[in-house]
Amino acid sequence: MYEVDGMVQGAEAKMKGSAAEAVKVVVRCRPMNEQETANGHKRVVDMDVDRGVVELRNIKALDTDPRKTFTFDAVYDWNSKQQELYDETFRPLIESVLCGFNGTIFAYGQTGTGKTYTMEGIRDDPEHRGVIPNSFEHIFNHIARSVNQQYLIRASYLEIYQEEIRDLLGKDQKKRLELKERPDTGVYVRDLQQFVCKSVNEIQHVMTVGNQNRAVGSTNMNLHSSRSHAIFIITIECSDVDEKGKSRIRVGKLNLVDLAGSERQSKTGTVGDRLKEATKINLSLSALGNVISALVDGKSTHIPYRDSKLTRLLQDSLGGNSKTIMVANIGPASYNYDETITTLRYANRAKNIKNKPKINEDPKDAILREYQQELARLKAQLTQRGGKKKKKKKRVDGDEGEGEEEEDEEGIDEESILQQQHELDEERNRILNDQHMIEEEKERFLLELKNKEAELIATREAQEKLMTRIQTMESKLLSGGKNIIDHTNEQQRALQQRTQELMDQKKREREMLQLLEKEEESSCEIASTFSSLQAEVEAKTRKLKKLFAKLQSVKQEMGDLHEEFCRDRVDLQNTQDVLTRELKLKALIIENFISPEEKRKILSRAFFDDDEDIWKLRPVVRQTGGTLKRPVSSASRRPTSEYAKMQASVDHNPRYKGENIMVVELDPAVRTTRDWEGPLVAPRVAAALEAALMPLDEDLSIDASLATLNRSQAVRSTRKEKTKGKFKSGLRPPSQVPDSSMYPKSRGLVPK
């Protein structure tokens, strides 16, 4: 155990001393999937794991064209195992987080290349478990083996989709969270849930719940996950005693980021909301790219962290005080060539970011400190209660020995309560059985006893509450050393250490190889002497050939980059065109349909919210002064004579009133309706109806001519005046009334 301790401390010292440290970039290529194999796709990616080199062939290019070569901190080919990645690349980072550094792991790459596989993998399968579940195990194992340290582990899980932050552990999944900034602790997500986790199972449960929520919010999970960023955050607080015997708290925060798919989103041809969506989907990702470019550029004074939520939130991880690893995931097949090369270029740039990791010692927002203080307070409270109890006890039976006070307070307390309970029972029995006592006195004693008992129970309950509170709080604080003598544990640790050493060695070898290669390229064999001219020519020709090939590849790379740049530029220009068109349309609408007064009002209310990066409107404030003044009181409006004042009190004539108010009696409205009376049927019509309802032998024909109807005044309504007038005005002049002969004859009500 001392070995490990010593090792960790040694590593710590080493890490503390190191100033700038580059972002570590590793590339992982997934195997061909069944479909790709079935479709006969060719693999265009070659990987030299020992040297950390990726080579890419373009099947469209000529055979003579040089391959694209990239060198990284490590590369993992299709045969790589999750555990291997963890031990070699991620374990040291998690170890640093346990020491109080901030750490971040990004998975970057096109959709379907294994980002989620690398981060999460298949959780129930130990072989395919990704870095997140592996880190859970690692962290809790570390704690179990720790000595004289107390840990508090918290987990949060969030998602950024279209620039909106959603808490995947929150109760209300519709709620969107905001980013806030504090000068002492930096950028944070307001109201983000944090769950204290006491074991691997608990933290795994947190992750499961988050993943379920992630799936629930989306209709198409594949599309959704390829367009959103998921960030799992583990905060590790550790308290221990330093060399000088001073207690200290170190806080490490681990961000595990599964980024959105990096594939190019087509923006051309989209308008309106769809365009907005398309621009927003990868806004965070392109902002990430811009931040990386600005960081490695060396000339930029402004790093555009504020351009997106993701870059703001992970500001520390890029050029800040975090230790950062980027995993660039690529696909092996030829049809992925374009995306693969873009990913590799992106990763290649990220290699040059320099961070300045530092341990967070005694930060203001450490919760562990609060916990410890609260615990101490509660314990003190408990002790105080215990003290009181003892005094009471002493009073009850004065012959208690003094020595008992030295005993464990909690124990004696519990005991004393039991004893008191017992004594009370005895007392009660004694009183009940006492024949000489008067009934009244008996009752009084019994009541007193009852009160005493109630008091005892209350204290007992309070005490128990306090105890459980202390226990729950204590259970959240984790510490190791429980089975420190455990043999298997010891062996495991030794094994792990050996694996770690092996991995370190491998890493060193790779670094040496890379260094050697670099040196070989740059040194010009100045010192070498040649036995003959011939040898010199040969050597120089070889050198020339090599350099020429290099030149060609650099030239080609330049061409490619230029091409890519042009493509991006056209893309941006297109977006800009569409946006300009939209803007013009809106301006046109405002110009022509919105009154200048209204526009001015809205403009005066608009302000830019820095925290949320959007324009907002201030609420409307009612103006108390100025335009909205109370009208001048009627009394003082104009000079009034005494006579007028007197008249005003008796006469209601408005001329004596101070206000311009007319007293108007309510006018009863003129009635425009009549009561229903039922139709009056003319005798002729009645006769006709009767005739019509009789069974007929002969054919009847209807004369639908309006003129006929009118002339005969067939139906007389009771609303005579009105309907009549209307009827008349709507009537065509008699000359235009079509002749009845124009209509076909049919059976009808009116006989001919």
> Does 235 sit near ligand ADP (CB under 6 A)?
no
* 239 interacts with, out of Mg ion, ligand ADP, none, CB within 5 to 8 A per kind: none
Question: Least Å distance between CB 116 and Mg ion?
Answer: 3
Question: Residue 324 pairs with which residues in a beta bridge?
Answer: 104
Question: Least Å distance between CB 84 and ligand ADP?
Answer: 11
Candidate residues 329, 340, 343, 463; the one interacting with ligand ADP per rule CB under 6 A: 329
With respect to Mg ion, which residue has the nearer C-beta, 116 or 463?
116
With respect to ligand ADP, which residue has the nearer C-beta, 221 or 585?
221
Question: Least Å distance between CB 116 and ligand ADP?
Answer: 3
**Please, is 347 exposed, middle or buried when counting C-beta atoms within 10 Å of its C-beta (0-12, 13-18, 19+)?**
buried
Question: Least Å distance between CB 131 and ligand ADP?
Answer: 12
With respect to Mg ion, which residue has the nearer C-beta, 118 or 308?
118
Please provide residue 61's backbone torsions phi and psi, each rounded to the nearest 5 degrees: -80, 170
Question: Least Å distance between CB 166 and Mg ion?
Answer: 17
With respect to Mg ion, which residue has the nearer C-beta, 116 or 150?
116
* 117 interacts with, out of ligand ADP, Mg ion, none, CB within 5 to 8 A per kind: ligand ADP
> Which residues in 500-512 are b (16+ Cβ under 10 Å) and which e?
beebeebbeebee
- # residues near ligand ADP by CB under 6 A: 13
With respect to ligand ADP, which residue has the nearer C-beta, 80 or 308?
80
Question: Least Å distance between CB 261 and Mg ion?
Answer: 7
Question: Least Å distance between CB 510 and ligand ADP?
Answer: 20
CA-wise closest residue to 98 among 295, 194, 237, 300: 237
Question: Least Å distance between CB 230 and ligand ADP?
Answer: 10
Residue 299 CB-half CA count within 13 A: 0
Question: Least Å distance between CB 107 and Mg ion?
Answer: 8
> Does 41 sit near ligand ADP (CB under 6 A)?
no
With respect to Mg ion, which residue has the nearer C-beta, 109 or 480?
109
Instruction: Please count the other Cβ atoms lying within 10 Å of the Cβ belonging to residue 628.
Output: 8
CA-wise closest residue to 283 among 320, 315, 312: 312
* 360 interacts with, out of Mg ion, ligand ADP, none, CB within 5 to 8 A per kind: none
With respect to ligand ADP, which residue has the nearer C-beta, 27 or 189?
27
DSSP alpha helix (H) spans, 282-408: 283-297, 309-313, 337-350, 367-396
With respect to ligand ADP, which residue has the nearer C-beta, 115 or 323?
115
Angle at 252 between CA 246 and CA 255, to 5 degrees: 175
CA distance 313 to 231: 10
* 235 interacts with, out of Mg ion, ligand ADP, none, CB within 5 to 8 A per kind: none
Which residue is associated with the tokens 């770690």?
Answer: 500
CA-to-CA dists, residue 457 to 35, 311, 386, 579, 682, angstroms: 72, 57, 14, 74, 100
* 113 interacts with, out of ligand ADP, Mg ion, none, CB within 5 to 8 A per kind: ligand ADP
* 232 interacts with, out of ligand ADP, Mg ion, none, CB within 5 to 8 A per kind: none
Token duo for residue 105: 């792991």
CA distance 352 to 371: 40
The H or E element spanning position 525 is none
With respect to ligand ADP, which residue has the nearer C-beta, 103 or 261?
261
Question: Least Å distance between CB 317 and ligand ADP?
Answer: 20
Q: Nearest residue to ligand ADP, using CB? A: 114
Question: Least Å distance between CB 117 and Mg ion?
Answer: 8
SS3 596: helix
CA-wise closest residue to 236 among 462, 71, 435, 478: 478
Question: Least Å distance between CB 208 and Mg ion?
Answer: 16
> Which residues in 707-738 are b (16+ Cβ under 10 Å) and which e?
beeeeeeeeeeeeeeeeeeeeeeeeeeeeeee
By CB under 6 A, the residues from 110 to 129 that bind ligand ADP are 111-117
Question: Least Å distance between CB 270 and ligand ADP?
Answer: 23
Cβ(100)–Cβ(359) under 8 Å?
Answer: yes
Q: Helix 487-522 crosses helix 2-17 at what angle (to 10 degrees)? A: 30
Stretch that binds ligand ADP, among 108-116, 289-297, 422-430, 516-524 (CB under 6 A): 108-116
Token duo for residue 676: 């229903």
* 329 interacts with, out of Mg ion, ligand ADP, none, CB within 5 to 8 A per kind: ligand ADP
With respect to ligand ADP, which residue has the nearer C-beta, 35 or 433?
35
Token duo for residue 154: 């918290």
Token duo for residue 384: 């105080």
Stretch that binds ligand ADP, among 107-115, 200-208, 415-423, 506-514 (CB under 6 A): 107-115
CA distance 67 to 56: 6
> Does 282 sit near ligand ADP (CB under 6 A)?
no
CA-wise closest residue to 357 among 384, 319, 389, 386: 319
CA-wise closest residue to 168 among 204, 202, 207: 207
* 31 interacts with, out of ligand ADP, Mg ion, none, CB within 5 to 8 A per kind: ligand ADP
> Does 255 sit near ligand ADP (CB under 6 A)?
no
Token duo for residue 561: 């980059």
Cβ(711)–Cβ(727) under 8 Å?
Answer: no
Question: Least Å distance between CB 344 and ligand ADP?
Answer: 15
Candidate residues 24, 30, 309, 323; the one interacting with ligand ADP per rule CB under 6 A: 30
Token duo for residue 203: 């933290």
Residue 677 CB-half CA count within 13 A: 10
Candidate residues 1, 5, 11, 31; the one interacting with ligand ADP per rule CB under 6 A: 31
Q: Write the interaction track for ligand ADP spanning residues 596-615; mark x where CB under 6 A is met and - where it is not.
A: --------------------
Q: Write the interaction track for ligand ADP spanning residues 287-326; mark x where CB under 6 A is met and - where it is not.
A: ----------------------------------------
With respect to ligand ADP, which residue has the nearer C-beta, 79 or 475?
79
Question: Least Å distance between CB 22 and ligand ADP?
Answer: 24
**Residue ranges in contact with Mg ion by CB under 5 A:** 115-116, 225
Q: Nearest residue to Mg ion, using CB? A: 116
With respect to Mg ion, which residue has the nearer C-beta, 142 or 229?
229
With respect to ligand ADP, which residue has the nearer C-beta, 35 or 488?
35
CA distance 618 to 607: 7
Tell me what percent of the chain is helix, strand and coil, each rounded to the nearest 5. Answer: 50, 15, 35
Residues contacting 659, CB < 8 A, separation 6+: 634, 637
Which residue is associated with the tokens 């009789």?
Answer: 694
> Does 151 sit near ligand ADP (CB under 6 A)?
no
CA distance 523 to 526: 7
Binding site for ligand ADP (CB under 6 A): 30-31, 109, 111-117, 226, 261, 329
